[in-house]
Amino acid sequence: MNKFKFALFIVMNIVNYVLVVLACLLWRGGSPVTAPLFLVLQPVLVIANLFVSQKDWQFFVLSVHLLISTIAANAIGGLLYYWNIAPGSETLLVCKYEVAIGEIYVIILSIGAILIKRWLKEVDRIRAGKK
Mean pLDDT by 10 residues, the chain (131 residues): 88 95 90 90 95 91 96 93 89 92 96 92 86 57
End-to-end CA distance of the chain: give it in Å, rounded: 30
Q: What is the pLDDT of residue 32?
A: 87
Q: What is the pLDDT of residue 1?
A: 64
Q: Is the dihedral of CA 10, 68, 66, 52 positive or negative?
A: positive
Domain that holds residue 93: 3-130
Q: What is the pLDDT of residue 23?
A: 93
Provide the domain count of the chain.
1
How many whole angstroms separate alpha carbon 83 and alpha carbon 8? 37
Q: What is the pLDDT of residue 109?
A: 96
